[in-house]
Each structure stands twice: as structure tokens, then as C-alpha cells.
Structure 1
Amino acid sequence: MVLKWASRCLPGFSIIALMLLLVAAFPTTIHIPWWTSDLAAQKPAPSSHQGKHEKMSFAQKVFVVYFILVHLNMFVFTVRLCFSLFSFWRQARMSLQHARFQGYNKKPQTEHISDSTYASSISSTSFDDSFSAPSSPQPRAKFADVDTYSLEDQNLTPATAADELIHAIIVPNYCEDLHTLFTTLSVLASHSRARSQYEIFLAMEEKEEEAPVKAKKLMTSFGSSFYAIHTTFHPAGLPGEIAGKSSNVAYAARQITNLHRYELHESDCKVVITVMDADTHLVQEYFLEVRRLHYAHLDSAERSLYCCPILFDRNSSETPVLVRCADLMWGFAGISTMYPGTPVSIPTSVYSLPIQLANKVGGWDSGPTAIGEDMHMMLKCYFGTGGSVITRTVHVPASQCNVSSDYPIDGWRRTLDTCRNRYKQALRHMWGALDTGYALRKTMPFFDINFKLARLRPFLRVRHLALVHLLWEAHFLPCHLTILLVFSVICTFFYPVETLHPTLVWALSFANLIRTLSFIGMNINLVIYDQWHQIWLYTRRQDMVEANLKDCGFSSRSWWHIAQLTERICFPIAGTIYGAVAMGHAVFSHFWTNRLVYRVSKKPTFANPDQLSLA
């Protein structure tokens, strides 16, 4: 029990250890006049000669090594992110040329509509709360030819109807807005293969009073739009479980396994589970790419987990710059693990995996340590397969919303409320640091009384070191980097350089150079991101117009706009508040609890609010 608690609190212990290292390495270094007595202020500083010839203590040597390591990792992250973004941008351009301009689709009628014209065209759209036989969406059958082409392009035989994949799509929701769910299902229903391949599972909470009403309306509206649509209600008060996305997904996944229990015994089961957020919009190219990857790697399909990037392209134009930057950094964290040739990727919000893999590892966890459900499931698959799970990148992004506010009037109060809501979301994200303890307990022998040496061997390899590095980068680096940055600034401003050892002076100067290069690199990444963002915004917007779904939200980006130029300066501030501060808040809370009350983040609606009542 003590070891389990210690592993849970490991990120918090690391922050304490770093602070102790600074105290041990520099016991009298920081000389701030208003914090010291007059007598201490009159003490002469060591001479330059003495400072250069004094030997560094062991603590100082450790500090220099770790200080440089942290800053180098920051720069490597920037380079890795640039590599990933460039790869996504190149793939997006290829896909656009392939699917949009080579005769597979007719030329869109809205090609020359400007952003302002389009915005005015969707402003008058209304939302019918009755949900009776909606006139939209309209299935887009034009992509059937693209399906066949993608298989032929891989020198594969196109699959027959009997061999086609079934996509079991879990849409977890708790106290979500009805319009949000309706729009999400409308987007999925607009796909040409929705009626033949999509099984929708509305994963709801039993304790939500309005859940049955919402489920009935959605089932009535979309009963004929999909191959099947089901509703599951996660019971309240189950031992060891908490309310939230992870428990809803776990309960719905058990229903999927029961529904397809006969297919599980087949040698080639073709059911793929996709988990998404309630406000996520997926273009059907996502499922086509999952299908292509499945058939391209049939020999390893049963241990493949599919990850995709997330794109905040719905309401970012109306979002405060700090919230916008925080979401960009959150998206970048996942994207940076999806570069070509990566040994392992970490999914963010949206991912897919075959039902065999989910069944092999025992399904989704629903306890307090699984609140970071996406990363946790990837880790569970990793350890459940002895480290042999393969993470494959789907180069089609998932469209997401930035956090919004309930405050009715625009102004500084609404802005402040949005920023506060984003911090609550960031705290929930950073609560996923519990996965570090989970990974440690699965790796180290002294946490398992039945441990055998053979169990450890799969993890004594480079791929596992890459996973450990990603966990350190996600759950340790944000706080450590901020602490070291503050410390280096204090050293620079309040202590004479000539009194420091030359190696320390070099380390501080080198770190300044690395930070400058990283800042420039992140600005380059933002420019690439803007180009990639525009390509997929153009693609999704045209698809939604052709499917008669115009109230989905579209936010354009251009690097020369003032909003995007402001991001170039504000992203370090947002990273500190919603990264380091939220992480510190989470990991120190883990000393006394591993439970966090799950609160749904407020999302925007793009229809007339007067028409959204449940009456």
C-alpha cells in the first residue's frame, strides 16, 4: 500500500527533490538585498579569481547536467513537433490533391465563398429540438470510389461487403448539451458508410436525470441513420469506479464485447472501437484511413492502436488568447509523439483499436487512476501485450471545440470565466499524471509479489525507454522546466556573474541560447500549424456544406492576423499557467487523494440558444 502511494506521488516527490537539489547546490547563491540583513549585505562577494578556481560540489554538477538536459529536451521537443507538423501538412496536401482534384469528387459549389459570406450564410440556421426526421445530414456517397482507390494504391485486394469493418463508435457524455450531441451524430450520419458500418454507442451516466430524455430523442432522430445505435447508462455507485469519461467508455465497451462475443472467436474479427469526445467532429476520411491501415497491416492488425491529432478549428476565433494557446500546446503535446518512425505515440481524446485488443487487455479501467482515459488505455494495451502494441498514426485530425463560458455577455467577465473553466479542464488533464505510477507498478518487480524475471524482459529495450521519456516529458517536465527557468532568471538578475563557477556561467548562457532557439522554433511550428489548420478547415467546411450541416462552427487562421500574432508571444504564459501550475496543483493533490470530481467543460453552441430547451 505504501509503495503504491509512493508511486502515485512520484511526480510530486520529483518536484521536492529538485527544490532540495537547488538548495544543496546553491546554499548561499541567491543574494536579494531586501531579503537579507544589513550585516549580510556588507559581506564582500567572493573574488573572480576565487570563483573560477573553486571546485564544483557534487550537487552543482548534478544541477548542471539536469539543467542542460531539461533545456535540450525542450529544444528536441520543438524539432520533433516541427517534424510531425510538416509531415501532417504534407499528408494533408497530398490527400486534398488526391481526393478533391483528381476526379473523385465534383467541384464544390462553395469553393469561392469567402469566410465572411459563409459566416453570414450559417448565422440564420436554426436547431429543431424536436429531432424528428431531420432534413440534414445528407449522406455523401462520393467517397465510395476513394475507398477502393486507397486499397488498390496499396496493392491490396478491395474488401468485399462481408469483409468490411464495423466501426463501434463510443460517444461518452455526461451533462452534455443536447445540441452538441445532435450535431456530433449528424456529422457521423453524413458519412456514406454510416448506415452499413457505424454502430453508435451513447455512453451516458445513470445519475444524470435528463439522460433518458436525451437518449430517446437521439435514438428517434438517428435510428435509421446508422447500422445500429445503442444507449448505455453507467450505474452510479459501482465499487471502485468514478463518474467520468473513463467509466462511461468502460461500461459501453463491455456492451460492445457482449454484442460481438461470437465474432471474438473468429480468426479475423473486423470490429474496430473508436472512442471520441461528445463534441468531436470526425470527417469520414478518418475511418477510411483506419480501414486502409487495417488492411495494409493485417498481420499486426489485432495489436494496432490508431492515434490521430486534434485540431481546434470550431470556435478558436472567439476564444481568449490564453485559452487558445493552452489548447494549441495540448494538441502539440500529442502531435509531437506522432512523427514518422516514432516508436510509440500517445493518443489525445480520439483513438481507435480492434475489439480483440481491447478484450485481450481486459477492456477499459474505470477507477480513479484511469481519469486520463486515452493515455491510460494506451499504457494498458502496451503492458497487456508485453510491449508489442503498435501505435499507428492516422493523419486525419479530429475537430474539437475550445472551452467556452456560460456568462451571457461578452466582456472581461466572460473572458475570465472562460479562462477559469480552462484551468479546471487543465487540472483534469494533469490529473492523468497518475499514469506514471501505473506504468511504474507495471514495470518494476517489487510492486508484484508474483513477479517473474521473464515479465520484465520485454520492457528492457529502447522502445520502453522512449515510453518512459514521454511519461517524464508529460508529467515531470512542465513543472521542472518552470522551476529551473525561474531559478536561472533569479541567478542572472541577483547574483554577480563573476562570482559563479565558469561551468555554471556556461550552463546559464547555453540555456538562454536554447530557450531562444526553442522560442523561434515554436513560432515556426505555429506558422506550419496555421497552414495545416486551413487545409483541414477547408475540407471539413466543404463536407459540412454538402451534407447540409452548416452550424458546426468554423474558425479560420492566418499567421498575419493579430490573434495569431498575439499567440506568438503568449504561448509561454499559457504553458506556465495551464501546464506547470495545473500540473503542480494535480501532483501535490495526489499526496492525499487520487480522486477528482469530474466536471464537464462548457462547450459552445452554434445554433440559436432560444431553440435549445428540452421542453
Structure 2
Amino acid sequence: MTKRLIQTRFFQRLLEIIVPVSSWFLITLPLWLSPFHPALVAYFIIAFDLYFFSKSMSTAYACVVSYNEILFHSQIKYFKKLQSQKNYSRLKHFIIIPNYKEPLHKLEETVQELIKNDYPIKKNLYLILAFEKREIDASKKSRYISNKYQNFFKEIISYYHPLKQDEESGKASNQTYAAKIVDKYVINNNLDRKNILITICDADSKLPKNYFSYLSFEYLRDKDRLFHFYWAPVLLYNNFWQLPFFVRMQATLSSILRLAFLSQKENLIQVSTYSTNLWLLKKINFWDIDIIPEDWHVFFQ
């Protein structure tokens, strides 16, 4: 009985409503409660201010720690350390760029950053351009990128995702389609899924030069690597000065928060651009195709 109730649309909708209603209840509480219980509202505001101050200080401290950690690791030549690891040459990197109607120049900027990487074995890098079939210019973009940058990767492969009736339009359905075809490619070429690293890269992401070397090094050293996601903080400074002032403020605050999470491992959930192995993705049947926020969702799968 309880299980059937939980699975009903009414119960699921109720859970969806509880969070925003609770948020608005707390936000508006000082307005409608002040005439009746002003002292209670005053205590509530003081308690909230103390909580906010505490969280702000802890976030600022974690942000500084994370920033120093990034500076430290950016000085390490991981491509040299990687070569000391046994069997590192078996790792294959498939970089999936899900995109829909992204300007060609933006897509090309992302690829240009990828080819600057210092990964020692270029032939182990595969670029996957995951287009939507309904995009008219997709094949034109694919040909341009493939012809211009094919010498920098083992292969550049383009897929065109046909949106089905039971799918939600977005990253999840797009990259699930691409990853499943990558999985077939891996099987056909007798590769081990545990040695296949999938990196989901947004069309406007700029990965640091040592991303794949550092990722490979940590992956090989990680005893629980088959069950982990690997994520670098996404800092929203691409095209920063072209944005309106208030959007820049939001981007800065969001970047600070994401940077702080890097040194708060218990709160760390990957977003936007991240990596994991194909074996794990296959185990959880990739991303659910009927949702939009695929990064958080796949973490809890």
C-alpha cells in the first residue's frame, strides 16, 4: 500500500511542491508574522543572520583553501608522474561534447582548449561531438571540426541524436545516446570498459591543460575508482565581461561556492563538466533520458 502511494503521481507532485512552498514560507515569514509576534520574528532574523555569517565565513575559508590547492596542483607536471604509473597507456579518453545550436566559434574554442592538453598519448584521446538530429547545421559543424582537428585526436566521431517521444530534450538524453554508441565502439574494438574514461564537456567549457594527465593519474591511484566521479570546479568566467552586471555577480558568487566545495569533500557533487568510467555508466544504464539536470541525478543513481 505504502509503495503504491509513493509511486503515484500525486505523491511525487506533493514532494515537488514541499520544497518551494517551504522556501517561500520562510522568506515571507517576517512580513506576515511581524504584526502578531514581533519578538519571535526578531529572534528568527538574528538566528538567520548568525547562521548566514557562519556559512559565509566557512565558505570563504574553504574557497581560499581550494584556490591554493589548485595553484599547487597546477605546478605539478602530472604528465610525467603519469608515465611512472603501470598500465597508464591502456586508458582511453572519450570526450563527449553534447550540444544543440551552439555557435561554431564557441564549439571551436572548446576544441582548441582540448588540443592544448599535455596528455602524453594523443592517440588515446577520442572526441565525440554529440549533436541533435533536428539541428539543421549539425553536419556542417561536424565536417568543419573533423577536417580541421582530426590530427589532434585518435578519432573525431559525430553522433546525431534523434529525440524520441519518451525522452526529455536536453543533455541527459543526448549524451546517453552518444555514450551507448561509444559503448558499442568499445565492445567492437575489444576494449575494457574499466579503462575507458568518459568526460562530459559542455560546449563552452575550457578544460585546463593538465586535466587529462591529472585525471588519469588520480584514476589509476584510486582504489575505488570504478565508483567515483571526477570533477574540477566549474568557474563561470567564460565570456564574463560580455554579460550584464547582475549576471556577472551571480556567476562570481556561484563560482566561489563551487570552488569552496572542492575542499569540502562531503558536499561535493559533480556538475556540468565531469569524468567517470564507462563501466560505472553501463552499470547504472547511463543517464535517465526523461530528466534535465543530469549531473546531480546521475550522482544519486
Aligned to 2:177: 251
Aligned to 2:100: 174
In structure 1, what is the Cα distance between the partners aligned to 2:284 and 2:267?
Answer: 18
In structure 1, what is the Cα distance between the partners aligned to 2:240 and 2:271?
Answer: 18
**Partner SS, residue 194 of structure 2:** coil
Q: 2:149 aligns with which of 209, 219, 222?
A: 222
Letter in 2 for 1:254: K
How does the TM-score come out when normalised to structure 1? 0.43
Aligned to 2:4: none
In structure 1, what is the Cα distance between the partners aligned to 2:49 and 2:300?
Answer: 27
Q: 1:374 aligns with which of 272, 295, 300?
A: 295
In structure 2, what is the Cα distance between the partners aligned to 1:216 and 1:254?
Answer: 22
- In the alignment, does 2:274 pair up with 1:351? yes
Aligned to 1:484: none
Letter in 2 for 1:169: I
Whether the 8 Å contact between 2:88 and 2:216 is mirrored in structure 1 is no
Written as runs of structure 1 = structure 2, the 5 A alignment for 1:198-237 is 198-236=125-163
How does the TM-score come out when normalised to structure 2? 0.84
User: 1:228 Cα shift?
Assistant: 1.6
Query: Structure 1 residues 17, 283: CA separation in 2 closer, same or farther (over 3 Å shift)?
Result: closer
**Aligned CA-pair RMSD:** 2.9
Please list the CA deviations of residues 556-594 of structure 1 after superposition, one character each: whole Å capped at 9, or x if unmatched: xxxxxxxxxxxxxxxxxxxxxxxxxxxxxxxxxxxxxxx
- In the alignment, does 2:247 pair up with 1:315? no
Q: 2:211 aligns with which of 261, 265, 286?
A: 286
**Partner SS, residue 260 of structure 1:** helix
Whether the 8 Å contact between 2:122 and 2:152 is mirrored in structure 1 is yes
**Partner SS, residue 343 of structure 1:** helix
Aligned to 1:426: none
In structure 2, what is the Cα distance between the partners aligned to 1:294 and 1:320?
Answer: 39
In structure 2, what is the Cα distance between the partners aligned to 1:343 and 1:67?
Answer: 28
Aligned to 2:64: 86
User: 1:318 Cα shift?
Assistant: 4.2
Please list the CA deviations of residues 501-535 of structure 1 after superposition, one character each: whole Å capped at 9, or x if unmatched: xxxxxxxxxxxxxxxxxxxxxxxxxxxxxxxxxxx
Whether the 8 Å contact between 1:334 and 1:346 is mirrored in structure 2 is no
- The unaligned stretches of length 5 or more in structure 2 are 1-8
**Partner SS, residue 229 of structure 2:** strand
Whether the 8 Å contact between 1:253 and 1:364 is mirrored in structure 2 is no
Aligned to 2:26: 18
User: 1:277 Cα shift?
Assistant: 1.0
**Partner SS, residue 175 of structure 1:** coil
Whether the 8 Å contact between 2:118 and 2:210 is mirrored in structure 1 is no
Whether the 8 Å contact between 1:196 and 1:226 is mirrored in structure 2 is yes
**Partner SS, residue 151 of structure 2:** coil
Aligned to 1:195: 122
Whether the 8 Å contact between 1:181 and 1:279 is mirrored in structure 2 is yes
Please list the CA deviations of residues 337-388 of structure 1 after superposition, one character each: whole Å capped at 9, or x if unmatched: 2225x22402232111111221122211221xx32222222222xxxxxxxx
Aligned to 1:260: 186
User: 1:332 Cα shift?
Assistant: 2.5
Query: Structure 1 residues 372, 332: CA separation in 2 closer, same or farther (over 3 Å shift)?
Result: farther
User: 1:87 Cα shift?
Assistant: 2.1
**Partner SS, residue 295 of structure 1:** helix
Q: 1:185 aligns with which of 111, 131, 135?
A: 111
Letter in 1 for 2:130: A
Query: Structure 1 residues 187, 13: CA separation in 2 closer, same or farther (over 3 Å shift)?
Result: same
User: 1:222 Cα shift?
Assistant: 2.3
User: 1:25 Cα shift?
Assistant: 4.3
Whether the 8 Å contact between 2:130 and 2:160 is mirrored in structure 1 is yes
In structure 2, what is the Cα distance between the partners aligned to 1:19 and 1:325?
Answer: 21
Letter in 2 for 1:331: S
- In the alignment, does 2:14 pair up with 1:6? yes
Whether the 8 Å contact between 1:171 and 1:201 is mirrored in structure 2 is yes
- In the alignment, does 2:262 pair up with 1:362? no
Whether the 8 Å contact between 1:81 and 1:335 is mirrored in structure 2 is no
Query: Structure 1 residues 308, 357: CA separation in 2 closer, same or farther (over 3 Å shift)?
Result: same
- In the alignment, does 2:250 pair up with 1:326? yes
User: 1:10 Cα shift?
Assistant: 2.3
Letter in 2 for 1:210: D
Whether the 8 Å contact between 1:263 and 1:269 is mirrored in structure 2 is no
Please list the CA deviations of residues 286-318 of structure 1 after superposition, one character each: whole Å capped at 9, or x if unmatched: 112211211221x20101111211234443244
Written as runs of structure 1 = structure 2, the 5 A alignment for 1:403-552 is none
Which has the larger Rg? Answer: 1
Please list the CA deviations of residues 384-436 of structure 1 after superposition, one character each: whole Å capped at 9, or x if unmatched: xxxxxxxxxxxxxxxxxxxxxxxxxxxxxxxxxxxxxxxxxxxxxxxxxxxxx
